[in-house]
Amino acid sequence: MITDVKSLVDGVLSGEPRSLARAISVIENHMPGWEQCLEQMYLHSGRAEILGFTGAPGVGKSTLVNAVMEQLLNMGKKVAVLAIDPSSPFSGGALLGDRIRMSKSMLQKNAFIRSMSTRGAMGGIAASTWDVSYVLDAACYDVIIIETVGVGQVEVDVMRGVDVCVVVLVPGMGDSIQALKAGIIEIADVFVINKADRDGANALERELNMVLSLADSMPKVEIVKTCATSGQGVADLLRAKDEFRKAAASLGLKQKKRKDFARSVLFQQMSSLILAEIMAIDANDVQIEAGVERIVNERVAPLIVARDLVARYKALCGSSLYNLQKGFL
Ligand code: GDP
């Protein structure tokens, strides 16, 4: 039971590790007081640099993120990594020692690594990841790295919210560029060709350059070659992401990206709140199940059934959504 949101928030803001862990679990598990806690965390966030790393399994994302994390820690930064891994169960702090070759005291003070699984993510994995990032941001982590397996829509959606999205490729994975989904190409701010110690890195770079010259995006998307296992190229990657950030800020794109992302999150949150309200007045899902029957057995189009159910909801509310909207605006 959470009794004192204020002392929990104060603990997080002063960087107290136990409060940080507690706040994350209160928010993630929607424990009592979670909304006030989240509100405070969000209020105190917005300062951290958020980096996204995505790419197919096996390209070396974790190894690369570890190398990046080590360099940033050596520069005196506080760094957090949230690895979205739909397959793995929660693994918490035990990962730290395995992933990073650094002294324990430094790790405990300045580093945080967490694997986010779909299990237990009450508002969906994307929402849950962002909620945890607000806590870390409020706790004064300088850099928050979100690592995803770049395959699904959820991962692409998460990446739209980061300041710099790094897409990791490797040579020799067949038609790697063709295999990339359009969404992934679109969200890439920096491309990394990892495992550059292997044959084919230059050919892949040429291929990628051709694709990028067609896209002609602003700021220019850089390609960086790395060998994550030796750390080669990691400094170049950090330089490339800093340059991207500077260019994006001077073009006003950082603010635009944050607003676009906020708008899409707002729409998602409003849709789920409205849906929750409709569901709440339909005890035991009687209407929903009747609607499902109509769709499947009576071949009534889902759009028509949805309209009927929303109309019923409006009638029950005694006010049309249009009027609600006018009052709202
Ligand atoms: P992830 O699934 O994308 O997170 O990939 P991992 O970081 O787990 O790496 C997959 C495998 O590739 C591991 O055996 C790494 O040691 C290896 N690996 C990662 N980076 C490099 C690299 O730059 N060169 C080579 N040769 N192997 C690498």
Per-position pLDDT tens, the chain of length 329 = 555 899 999 999 999 989 999 999 999 888 999 999 999 999 999 999 999 999 888 899 999 999 999 999 999 999 999 988 765 544 444 444 455 555 555 566 799 988 877 655 566 677 888 999 999 999 999 999 999 886 677 777 888 899 999 999 999 875 556 556 666 777 899 999 999 999 999 998 998 888 888 877 888 899 999 999 999 999 999 999 999 999 999 999 988 999 999 999 899 889 888 888 888 887 777 888 999 999 999 999 999 999 999 898 888 876 555 555 554 44
Buried b (16+ CB within 10 A) or exposed e, 196-226: beeebbeebbebbeeebeeeeeebebbbbbb
Measured between alpha carbons, how far is 291 from 301 in angstroms, rounded to an integer? 10
Contacts of 240 (CB under 8 A, 6+ apart): 190, 222, 224
Measured between alpha carbons, how far is 269 from 151 in angstroms, rounded to an integer? 24
Structure tokens at 75: 């520069």
Structure tokens at 70: 């080590």
Question: Closest ligand 1 atom, CA of 230?
Answer: 23
Q: Is the dihedral of CA 52, 55, 59, 62 positive or negative?
A: positive
User: Residue 10: its pLDDT value, please?
Assistant: 96
Q: Is 91 helix (H, G, I), strand (E, B) or coil?
A: coil
Question: Closest ligand 1 atom, CA of 57?
Answer: 2
Which residues line the pocket of ligand 1, CB cutoff 6 A? 55, 57-63, 194-195, 197-198, 227-229
Measured between alpha carbons, how far is 97 from 100 in angstroms, rounded to an integer? 6
Gap from CA of 194 to ligand 1 centroid (Å): 8
User: Residue 106: its pLDDT value, please?
Assistant: 57
User: Residue 194: its pLDDT value, please?
Assistant: 96
Gap from CA of 154 to ligand 1 centroid (Å): 23
Buried b (16+ CB within 10 A) or exposed e, 158-178: bbbbbbbbbbbbbbebeebee
User: Residue 119: its pLDDT value, please?
Assistant: 57
Gap from CA of 195 to ligand 1 centroid (Å): 7
Gap from CA of 108 to ligand 1 centroid (Å): 25
Residue whose Cα lies nearest atom 9 of ligand 1: it is 60
User: Residue 294: its pLDDT value, please?
Assistant: 97
DSSP 227: B
Residue to substitute in 99, 198, 229, 230 for testing ligand 1 pocket (most ligand atoms within 8 angstroms of CB)? 229
Element (H, E) at 113: strand 111-116
Question: Closest ligand 1 atom, CA of 59?
Answer: 3
